[in-house]
Structure 1
Amino acid sequence: MRVVRGRGPTRRTDREATADLLDRAADAGEPAVRVWTPHRQVAFGRRDVRLDGFESASQIARSHGFPPVERRVGGRAVAYTGRTVAFAVAIPIADMRSGMTRRYEAVSETIVDVLTSIGAAVETGEPDGSYCPGSHSIRATDGGKIAGIAQRVRRGAALVAGCLTVVPSDVDELVDVLTPLYAALDVPFEPHSVGCAVDAGGPDDPTRVTEALESALVRGPWSDGSTTIESIR
């Protein structure tokens, strides 16, 4: 099991580090885990890029201090504040046609267990009008979306990845940029659908969440029983 830590020096190299998890899992049959805080940015999905409002949405992101990038995995636009916790699990697979739901459920359950263990009241589910809506999200029991999960599959491996909002100030920033951005894309979005771990009763320290989540993912069902730590420089 490779455990990759740190943030790449640029947005491009940071994305490449995550892509490398998937490629090496496929080529070498080696599972990997990465939990980190990406650079500040808005990551647009492929469907966003094809919309008429994409250029306007990109300018909105820039005007709010979020450089726009395009990502390979996931659906609609997601904003990272620089404190947002991201996670990625690369899992070797034998068959591209099976196991997707099982992998989603395993990662979702891990995130719920981790957040519950550090005091947050959470559950699986998607609030109405969420950013980057999907079938495998984590929400506060009495509030908004805290984490979203996506999956990319290629021959030999799958990458289950997503992001997790920790502090209320990030909620404010996400609402400020995503409200006009989603309007420009003509995609439904409700500001009250955004939540964070703190609002659910969890800690206000992204580092604590990162460490707890990494530890849990390393022990997941995809583990091969070994651990090798690598740092991005």
Structure 2
Amino acid sequence: MADERGDRAVRVVRGRVATRDSDQTVTTEMSEYVAETGNPAFRAWTPHRQMAFGRRDAHAEGYERACEAAESRGFPVVKRSVGGRAVAYTGRTVAFASAVPIENDRTGLDERYETATTAVIRALRSLGVPARRGEPANSFCPGDHSVQAHGKICGIAQRVRRDVALVSGVVVVADHDAIAAVLEPVYEALDVPFDPGSVGSVARSGGPGDAERVIRALEDAFVGDAERRVTDARERVDD
């Protein structure tokens, strides 16, 4: 896992904390650590059960109905600071975040997307999934940076600030039916085309339905042979 200032030891943050809000703080502090130290960091974990809406969703006419649809099906609503459409986490869905220091916030965007996409594909293939770039039509959180195999498995986003770039994503491990079932009324309320059959998963594509194995595969693919300095999410990453 190289960064724009050279190869460095990677801070690896494992696990999640007790609440959704504090869990998001872990990733925020991880990014702050990278900006302050110039060392890259990586985290892969299973976020709490939730429906994460993007900024575009929050401005949609049917946003309140979409929130009601999610919450009535047991998915508490949270708002993401980045764009994109709604994403459902079941509690076994894996998220990842790769934070790297940068010297110029106007360059490197495409290269970082390419690096992350390649790493996700490598991780999934190591688990027996025939992963490839792209997504089926009318997928959840549609975007240019996705990975598919018997449906969309992963979507990737990026947030850039002056000193650090955070490339993040979601990987559906096994709950494709449950995710499709809750996203259908949510996307209908938002008036966004959605095909429930487009939701894939690692398990649906022949891989393991074990989130921990997916987490380890992602960590290995993103971090590679770099030195790992592992910390528990319940500890501050800058301690």
TM-score (normalizing by structure 1):
0.93
Query: Does the 8 Å CA contact 1:92/1:157 hold for their aligned counterparts?
Result: yes
> Residues 1-233 of structure 1 correspond to what in structure 2 (within 5 A)?
1-140=10-149, 143-167=150-174, 170-219=175-224, 225-233=226-234
Query: Does the 8 Å CA contact 1:2/1:229 hold for their aligned counterparts?
Result: yes
Give the secondary-structure state (helix, strand or coil) at the position aligned to 2:68: helix
CA 1:89 to 1:74, structure 2 compared with 1: closer, same or farther past 3 Å? farther
Q: Give a deviation string over 1:82-105, Cα, whole Å, max 9, x none.
A: 000110000100011110110011
**Partner amino acid, structure 2, of 1:199:** R
- Bigger shift: residues 130-139 or 19-28: 19-28
Give the secondary-structure state (helix, strand or coil) at the position aligned to 1:13: helix
Rounded Cα–Cα distance in structure 1 between residues aligned with 2:13 and 2:233: 7
**Partner amino acid, structure 1, of 2:228:** T
Q: Percent identity?
A: 52
Deviation at 1:74, TM superposition (A): 4.1
Q: How many residues are matched?
A: 225
Rounded Cα–Cα distance in structure 2 between residues aligned with 1:15 and 1:181: 23
Deviation at 1:73, TM superposition (A): 2.7
Give the secondary-structure state (helix, strand or coil) at the position aligned to 1:18: helix
Rounded Cα–Cα distance in structure 2 between residues aligned with 1:138 and 1:116: 11
Q: Which 4+ runs in 1 deviate beyond 4 A?
A: none
